[in-house]
C-alpha cells in the first residue's frame, strides 16, 4: 500500500462542523485559487521509488495467492482468510506501529517492517500446510503496518499543504504502476510454480529496503521549522472532525473493496469466468491501469476543487462497477462477453479507486497537519482500512460460497455506497482564498 494542516496552536474547542473564512475554522487549508507550482521534496521521491518496488512485488503474489491457498484443499472462504490474516495482523499491530514511529523514528521502523515482510514472504513460499501459510502471511502483516504507518507519517509531514493531493497521487501512482506490472508477471511466474512469486516478492522487498536505507541515510523526519517539539494530536480531537469520521468510513469501504475483495475474491471470479492462469493477473492489472490513468489528474483536481467531491464521485463509480462485476459469470453470457464485461468493469472500478485515494489521503492530512504529531490518528485510520480488508474477503467469500459471485459483488458495491454517506454532510477540508497572494516555494 498507504494531507492539509491545522494551526500550530489549535483552539481548545475547535469548530469542526462548518467551513468558514480562514481563521474561523481550523480544519481547513488556505491556498490560492491558482497556486504556484510547488516542488516535491527529495525524501518523498525516495519513498515513491520504494513504493513502486513494494507494489511490484505485492502485485506479483496477488493473482496466485488465492490459488496457492486452495492448493491446500480448502474452499473459497478459507482461501479468502489468507488475505484477511495479513490485514488482521496489520490491524492489531497498528497502535504499536504508531508508537514505534514516535519513539524510534520513521526510517528504522520502515526498514525493519520491510525486512519482516520479506522474511514472511520467503517462509510463505515454503509453507507445508494451510496452517503454516496462514501463520506466515499473518506475521507479514506486522511488518507491513510498520512500513505503511512510517510512510504515511513522512508523507503527511513533508508534503507542502498546497500539493498534498499531488503528492498523494504521485505516491499512489508508483504503487499502481507496480501493481499494474506485478500481476502480469505474477501470472507468468505462477506457471513456474505457485511458490515462485513469493520468492520474487521477498527479493523485491529487500531491494526496497536498500533504496530507502541508502537514499534516506540516517534521516528522521525533518524537525519543525522553529525547532520546537511537535504537539500531539489526540484521537478524541481528531474524532471531533466530521472530515476525519468520514475518512474512517470511506477507509473501511476502500479497504473492504480494494485491499480485500479485489485481491482475494476477484481473482477467483476471473478464474470462474475462464480457468486460465493469465486471466486473474490480467484482471487485476487492467483495474490498476484504470486507477493509474486516473491518478494522473485526480491529485491536482483534489488540490483545486476539493477533496470531498472526488471521494463521493469515486465511491459511487467504484460501487456501481463492483455491484455489476458478478454478472461476468452469468450463465447466459459467452466466455468472450464475460471476459469483456470482467475487464471493462474492473477498469471502471479502478477509475473510482483513483478518484477516492488521493482525495481521502489529502483530507486525512488536512485534519492532522504537518505541524502536529498524528501517529495515533494515522494508525487509527489504518486500522479502519485494514478492518474492511479483513472483514470484506471473509464475508464476501462466504456469500460467494452460498449465493454465488453475483450476490457477493452486489454486497461489495453496497458497502462502497454506504461508505460515502458521512461525506454527504462533512465540510470541505480544502479552502481556497482567491485574494491571497502567492509566495514562491523552493
pLDDT given at position 3: 38
Number of other residues whose CB lies within 10 A of the CB of residue 420: 22
Alpha carbon distances (Å) from 332 to 108, 327, 328, 329, 411: 55, 10, 10, 9, 22
Q: Is 29 helix (H, G, I), strand (E, B) or coil?
A: strand
Comparing 33-37, 159-163, 422-426, the range with the smallest average pLDDT is: 33-37
pLDDT, average across residues 63-84: 76
What value does the mean pLDDT take over residues 53-74?
A: 80
Number of compact structural domains in the chain: 1
Q: Classify each residue of 14-46 as buried b or exposed e, where b means 16 or more C-beta atoms within 10 Å of its C-beta.
A: eebeebeeeeebbbbbbbeeebeebebbebbeb
Cell of 193: 510454480
Q: What integer is the mean pLDDT of 21-36?
A: 42
| Confidence band for 38, pLDDT divided at 50, 70 and 90 | low
Within-domain flag for 15: no
Whether 24 maps to a domain, the answer reads no
Using alpha carbons, list the distances in angstroms from residue 342 to 148, 329, 332: 30, 9, 15
Task: Quick: pLDDT tens for 392-407.
Answer: 888 998 998 899 999 9
Give the count of beta carbons closer than 10 Å to the beta carbon of residue 203.
15
Question: Would you give the DSSP letter of residue 37?
Answer: P
pLDDT at 104: 78
Q: What is the 3-state secondary structure (H, E, C) of 260-312?
A: HHHHHCHHHHHHHHCCCHHHHHHHHHHHHHHHHHHHHHHHHHHHHCCHHHHHH
Dump pLDDT digits (tens) for 180-217. 787 778 777 776 778 888 888 888 888 888 888 887 76
The answer to whether residue 2 sits within a structural domain is: no
For residue 124, what pLDDT is reported?
87
Regarding beta strands 231-232 and 430-432, do their DSSP bridges make them parallel or antiparallel, or are they unpaired?
unpaired
Q: Return the higher-pLDDT residue of 296 and 223.
A: 296
pLDDT in tens, 381-395: 888 887 888 888 889
Q: Express each pLDDT in 242-261 by its tens digit.
A: 999 999 999 999 999 988 89
Q: Which domain holds residue 201?
A: 29-432
What percent of the chain has pLDDT above 70?
Answer: 82
Which region holds residue 73: left if phi is over 0, alpha if psi is between -120 and 50, else beta? left
The answer to whether 348 touches 290, Cβ cutoff 8 Å, is yes
Separation between Cα atoms, residue 413 and residue 360, nearest integer Å: 18
Structure confidence by residue, pLDDT tens digits, 120-155: 989 988 888 888 888 888 888 888 888 888 888 778
Residue 143 lies in a domain: yes
Residue 21, pLDDT above cutoff 50: no
Share of the chain above pLDDT 90, in %: 19
**73 domain-assigned:** yes
Query: What pLDDT, on a 0 to 100 scale, did the predictor assign at position 251?
Result: 92
pLDDT at 171 over 80: yes
pLDDT tens-digit map of 259-290: 889 878 888 888 888 888 788 878 888 888 88
424 falls within a domain: yes
pLDDT, tens digit (0-9, with 9 covering 90-100), for 313-351: 999 999 999 999 989 988 888 888 989 999 999 999 999
C-alpha cell at 73: 484443499
pLDDT of residue 217: 66
Question: What is the distance between the alpha carbons of residues 88 and 94, in angstroms, rounded to a whole number?
Answer: 10
pTM equals 0.69
| Cβ-defined contacts of 15-18 (< 8 Å, 24+) | 16/240, 16/241, 16/242, 16/243, 16/427, 17/242, 17/427, 18/427
Asked if residue 8 is part of any domain, the answer here is no
Report the alpha-carbon distance of residue 300 to residue 359 in Å, rounded: 10
Spatial CB neighbours of 193, under 8 Å, sequence gap ≥ 6: none
In this structure, what CATH number is given to the domain that contains residue 418? 1.20.1250.20
Tell how far CA 129 is from the center of its chain: 30
On the question of pLDDT at 415 being above 90, the answer is yes
The grid coordinates listed for 64 are: 496466485
Q: Of 184, 335, 340, 332, nearest to 273 (Cα)?
A: 335
Range with the largest mean pLDDT of 44-48, 204-208, 343-347, 357-361: 343-347
10: confidence class by pLDDT, cuts 50, 70, 90: very low
Is 288 part of a structural domain of the chain? yes
- Name the band, by pLDDT with cuts 50, 70 and 90, for residue 37: low
Amino acid at each position: 500500500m498507504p494531507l492539509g494542516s491545522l494551526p500550530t496552536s489549535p483552539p481548545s474547542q475547535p469548530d469542526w462542523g462548518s467551513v468558514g473564512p480562514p481563521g474561523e475554522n481550523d480544519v481547513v487549508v488556505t491556498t490560492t485559487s491558482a497556486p504556484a507550482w510547488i516542488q516535491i521534496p527529495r525524501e518523498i521521491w525516495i519513498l515513491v521509488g520504494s513504493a513502486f518496488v513494494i507494489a511490484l512485488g505485492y502485485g506479483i503474489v496477488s493473482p496466485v495467492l488465492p490459488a496457492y491457498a486452495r492448493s491446500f484443499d480448502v474452499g473459497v472462504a478459507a482461501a479468502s482468510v489468507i488475505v484477511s490474516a495479513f490485514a488482521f495482523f496489520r490491524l492489531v499491530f497498528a497502535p504499536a506501529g504508531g508508537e514505534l514511529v514516535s519513539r524510534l523514528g520513521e526510517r528504522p521502523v520502515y526498514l525493519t517492517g520491510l525486512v519482516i515482510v520479506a522474511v514472511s514472504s520467503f517462509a510463505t513460499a515454503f509453507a507445508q500446510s494451510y496452517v503454516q501459510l496462514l501463520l506466515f502471511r499473518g506475521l507479514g502483516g506486522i511488518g507491513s503496518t510498520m512500513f505503511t504507518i512510517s510512510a504515511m507519517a513522512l508523507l503527511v509531514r513533508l508534503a507542502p499543504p498546497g500539493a498534498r493531493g499531488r503528492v498523494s497521487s504521485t505516491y499512489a501512482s508508483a504503487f499502481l504502476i507496480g501493481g499494474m506490472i506485478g500481476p502480469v508477471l505474477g501470472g507468468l511466474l505462477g506457471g513456474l510454480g505457485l511458490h515462485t512469486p513469493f520468492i520474487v516478492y521477498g527479493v523485491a522487498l529487500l531491494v526496497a529496503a536498500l533504496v530507502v536505507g541508502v537514499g534516506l541515510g540516517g534521516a528522521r523526519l525533518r524537525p519543525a521549522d522553529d525547532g520546537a517539539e511537535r504537539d500531539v494530536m489526540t484521537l478524541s480531537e481528531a474524532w471531533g472532525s466530521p472530515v476525519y469520521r468520514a475518512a474512517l468510513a470511506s477507509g473501511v469501504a476502500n479497504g473492504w473493496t480494494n485491499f480485500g475483495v479485489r485481491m482475494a475474491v476477484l481473482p477467483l471470479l476471473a478464474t470462474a469466468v475462464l480457468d486460465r492462469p493469465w486471466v486473474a493477473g490480467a484482471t487485476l492489472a487492467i483495474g490498476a491501469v484504470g486507477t493509474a490513468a486516473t491518478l494522473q489528474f485526480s491529485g491536482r483536481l483534489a488540490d483545486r476543487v476539493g477533496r470531498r467531491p472526488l471521494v463521493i464521485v469515486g465511491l459511487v463509480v467504484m460501487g456501481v462497477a463492483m455491484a455489476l462485476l458478478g454478472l461476468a459469470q452469468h450463465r447466459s453470457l459467452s466466455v468472450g462477453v464475460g471476459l469483456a464485461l470482467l475487464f471493462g468493469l474492473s477498469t471502471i472500478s479502478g477509475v473510482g479507486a483513483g478518484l477516492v485515494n488521493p482525495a481521502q489521503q489529502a483530507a486525512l492530512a488536512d485534519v492532522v497537519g504537518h505541524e502536529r504529531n498524528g501517529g495515533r490518528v494515522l494508525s487509527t485510520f489504518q486500522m479502519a482500512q485494514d478492518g474492511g480488508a479483513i472483514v470484506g474477503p471473509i464475508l464476501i467469500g462466504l456469500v460467494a460460497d452460498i449465493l454465488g459471485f453475483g450476490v457477493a459483488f452486489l454486497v461489495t458495491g453496497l458497502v462502497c455506497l454506504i461508505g460515502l454517506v458521512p461525506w454527504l454532510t462533512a465540510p470541505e477540508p480544502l479552502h481556497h482564498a482567491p485574494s491571497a497572494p502567492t509566495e514562491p516555494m523552493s
